[in-house]
Structure 1
Amino acid sequence: MEFRIERGALTDAVSRAARVLPARSPVPVLGGLLLDAGPGGLSVSGLDFEASARIETVADTLRAGKVLVMGRRLLDICKVLPEGPVECAVEGSRFTVAGGGSRFGLSVLPLDDYPALPPLPELRGTVDAAEFASAVGDVAVAAGRDDTLPALTGIGLGLDGSTMTLAATDRYRFAVRTLPFAGKAPDVTADVLVPARRLTEIARSLGGAGQVSVAVDAGSIGFEYAGTRTTVRLLDGRLPRHDKLFALSDPAVAVLDREPLVDAVRRVSVVADGGSPLQMTFTPGPDASVLLQAGFEDDVASQRLPAALEGAAGMTVAFNPAYLMDALSSFAGARVRMRLMGPGQRAMITGGEGTGTPTHQHLLMSVKPAML
């Protein structure tokens, strides 16, 4: 096996494949990356018990062949290689990497012990890469991080004809985002639960991929884009349905400029130690405003902002400041709309347009206001 490749292309392929490698594994070969050089270029593959990835890149193959080497060690080497062409070859029981006057040697792992990569599941359709990556980021902030509740560490992915729905919840918040989906068939459907960490990694790697092919079967989900094919094992279970939860009866509605609100929440929550809440007191009228307050005793902070309030004579609600910041930061528009049911009840945050069904919704549970 022998091939030449640009240092940037090799580093990119190795780093993307290495993301699926297990941090620790009782099976040593699962720490390896499989390099396969052929007439079509180079493919770099990795897998663990939960995910797999295969990245294809341009390379000049002088001698076709395969080799299995420790993935993270190869990635470390790629990061320190000088810019320019790199020559790679198998010499006996060693894989050599040379470029810019530097030369490295790696011992090879037994190919016969390496499992076959799982096949891509059934193709269901395609989605715009940039919009999909944005949607995953919007909902991932609400995914749980408690491994004792594995279903809540996932992102629900639903397909229904021409719509993809992504959802996540940790029981205290619930984020949902819908986006267009080009189904392979008009009646395509799916309802699966994908590990949030894995889906976030895939979304971050999309870049300018254009269209992403989505493939789903009973046990796994796959994505194919820009020379990359990756699969992820699905989680068992389903997220709670959000339809009735999101239906708020006669809420008060507050509309605020998003960026000043984000800045104010960040500023005021500096004194909100120990999970203490951030309180928002809405005052209607010609000079309608919201007063943000946090802290206890002498360590307090406050800031007042303009806010339009409809449907209430006035209201005070409070939120976990970190959850509120996550929710507000997941929106990109100039304004946000808050639908409020009152202290200790549900509150819905959407974009500020206020027309039609929102494509991005973030539900928060308000908490008991603090005694400031």
Structure 2
Amino acid sequence: MKFRVERDVLADAVAWAARSLPVRPSVPVLAGLLIEAGEEGLVLSTFDYETSARATLAADVSEEGRALVSGRLLADICRSLPAKPVEMIIDGSRVSLTCGSARFSLQTMPVEDYPTLPDMPAATGTVQSDVFAHAVAQAVTAAGRDDMLPVLTGVRIEIDGSSISLLATDRFRLSHRELGWDPRTPDETVAALVPAKVLGDTAKSLTAGSEVTIALAAGGSGEGIIGFEGAAAGGLRRTTTRLLDGEFPKVRSLFPSEHLTVATVKKSDLVESVKRVALVAERNTAVQLAFSDGLLTLDAGSGDEAQASESIEARVNGEDITTGFNPQFLLDGLTAIDQEEVELAFTQASKPVVISGAVTDGSGAPGFRYLLMPRRLLS
């Protein structure tokens, strides 16, 4: 194996492929990054039996071959190299890397022990890359982080013709984002539960090109796989991951069809007010929100402890209402919304609020909705 490649292209691809390497691999070779030089250029791969990453980039290949080296070490080295072309060559059981006057020698791992990467399923459709990345970033806001409840650490992707719905919940909040896409089969309906962290990292990393290809193969129990492919500097990048096994809760019915009170507030004012008032809120206590007479009054703290109160303008349609929420969960939902004004829709104080961007251009329903459970207020 012998090839020459531009330093920035190599460093970016290595960093991308190595980002999903396991911290504590079950077997040593899974900490490796597979380097393959051949007719299609240079291919860099990582795989931990759950998630795979494959970056293809242009390189001047003099001799074909493959080698397995420590992925994190290679990423650290490439990041520190001078801005000059990089040459890599196999020298016995080591890989020699040269960049200008900098030279490194890396111990190889047994490439024959490295697992075979899964194939990319047949393409299901394509979606605009920046739109997809933004939609995923909104959806993962409500995804769970408790590995004891693995189903809730995923994002449910529902494909119905030319639309995609993204749903996530951690039992205390729920996010719902809809977007359009270009399906290969216009009348196809399919669903998948994708690990939220993998989905978020992948969508964010595939914005260099104009679109992302999504490939879904929903097999039997625990056998489903989803793949994402997009253009990047110097070539293509592809990620596959196993789907989560389990039944995602039926959460769509939690969004009420009618509301007794709807308040419209300037998002920036509400965000800053929540941040200030929450400074005196003790851990796991709520910030109180009281809507009345064109005002939203926020309160936190109680008894002999520090207290805070602040009022901001709000257009309130319906009955006055007083409720309370986890301030960080409230901020997470507000900051995920694009619009300058937000709507908070209530059925009653003890029921969840639905937060969305205020639609003023006649474009219909907002693309992102965030449902948040109330917290008990301290007396």
Query: Do these two structures clear the TM 0.5 threshold for a shared fold by scoring above it?
Result: yes
Report the Cα distance in structure 1 between the residues aligned to 2:261 and 2:208, rounded to whole angstroms: 41
Q: Between 99-108 and 20-29, report the one with greater CA deviation.
A: 20-29
SS in 1 for 2:300: strand
234, 241, 257: which one pairs with 1:232? 241
1:221 maps to 2:218: no
Q: Partner of 2:313 in structure 1?
A: 306
Measure, in 2, the Cα distance between the counterparts of 1:136 and 1:38.
Answer: 35
- Alpha-carbon distance in 2 for matches of 1:48, 1:345: 42
Equivalent of residue 263 in structure 1, options 268, 272, 280: 272
Deviations 1:103-144 (A, max 9, x none): 111011111111111001121111111111111110111011
Task: Report if aligned partners of 1:163, 1:178 keep a CA contact under 8 Å in 2.
Answer: yes
Give, in angstroms, the shift of residue 70 of structure 1. 0.9
* Counterpart secondary structure, 2:274: helix
Instruction: Give identity over the alignment, percent.
Output: 42
Helix, strand or coil at the partner of 2:199? helix
SS in 2 for 1:331: coil
Aligned partner of residue 157 in structure 1, secondary structure = strand
Match for 2:321 among 315, 323, 332?
315
Aligned amino acid, residue 223 of structure 1: F
- Other-structure match for 1:352: 358
| SS at structure 1 position matched to 2:98 | strand
C-alpha RMSD of matched pairs (Å): 1.3
Where 1:141 maps in the other structure, the secondary structure is helix
Q: Structure 2: state its 5+ residue gaps.
A: none
Paired position in structure 1 for 2:40: 40
Matched residue, 1:172 = 172
Secondary structure of the corresponding residue to residue 253 of structure 2: coil
- Which of 363, 366, 377 is matched with 1:369 structurally? 377
Alignment partners' CA distance in 2, 1:97 and 1:267 = 52
Take 1:70 and 1:247, find their aligned partners in 2: how far apart are those partners? 52
Indicate conservation of the 8 Å contact 2:215/2:226, yes or no.
Answer: yes
2:345 aligns with: 339
Structure 1 CA distance for aligned equivalents of residues 178 and 204 of structure 2: 18
Judge conservation of contact 1:343–1:368 (CA < 8 Å) in 2.
no
Residue 149 of structure 2: aligned partner: 149
Q: Pairwise mapping of residues 320-331 of structure 1 onto structure 2 (< 5 A)? A: 320-331=326-337
- The answer to whether the 8 Å contact 1:346/1:366 transfers is yes
Counterparts of 2:331 and 2:257, CA distance in 1: 22
Counterpart amino acid of 1:89?
Answer: I
1:1-372 mapped onto 2 (5 Å cutoff): 1-217=1-217, 218=219, 219-226=224-231, 227-284=236-293, 288-297=294-303, 298-312=305-319, 314-353=320-359, 356-371=364-379
- The whole-number CA distance in structure 2 between the counterparts of 1:269 and 1:155 is 29
Deviation at 1:35, TM superposition (A): 0.7
CA distance in 1, matches of 2:86, 2:249: 51
Q: Distance in 2 between matches of 1:9 and 1:296?
A: 56
Deviations 1:343-370 (A, max 9, x none): 2211100111165333211000112223
| Residue 239 (structure 1) shift | 2.1
1:318-362 deviation per Cα after TM superposition (whole angstroms, max 9, x unaligned): 000010000001011111011012322111001111653332110
Contact kept in structure 1, 2:206 and 2:237, CA below 8 Å: no
Query: TM-score under structure 2 normalisation?
Result: 0.94
Deviation, structure 1 residue 273: 1.9
CA distance in 1, matches of 2:61, 2:110: 22
Q: Report the alpha carbon displacement of residue 274 of structure 1 after superposing the two structures with TM.
A: 1.2
Q: What TM-score, normalized by structure 1, do the two folds share?
A: 0.96
* 2:116 match: secondary structure: coil
Contact 1:251-1:341 at 8 Å conserved across structures: yes
> Could you report, residue by residue, the CA deviation over 1:228-249 in whole angstroms, capped at 9, with x for unpaired residues?
1110000012322233210243
Please say if residues 358 and 366 of structure 2, whose CA atoms lie closer than 8 Å, have aligned partners that are also in contact: no
Q: Secondary structure at the match of 2:283?
A: helix
Q: Deviations over 1:161-200 (max 9, x none)?
A: 0001101000110000000011101112211100111111
* CA-to-aligned-CA distance 1:214-260 (integer Å, 9 cap, x gap): 11112110011110111000001232223321024332000011111
Kept in 1, the 8 Å contact 2:359–2:365? The answer is no
Q: What is the CA–CA distance in structure 2 between the aligned matches of 1:203 and 1:234, rounded to whole Å?
A: 16
Partners of 1:2 and 1:203 lie apart in 2 by 32
2: distance between equivalents of 1:68 and 1:129? 31
In the alignment, residue 225 of structure 1 is paired with which amino acid? G
1:247 partner letter: P
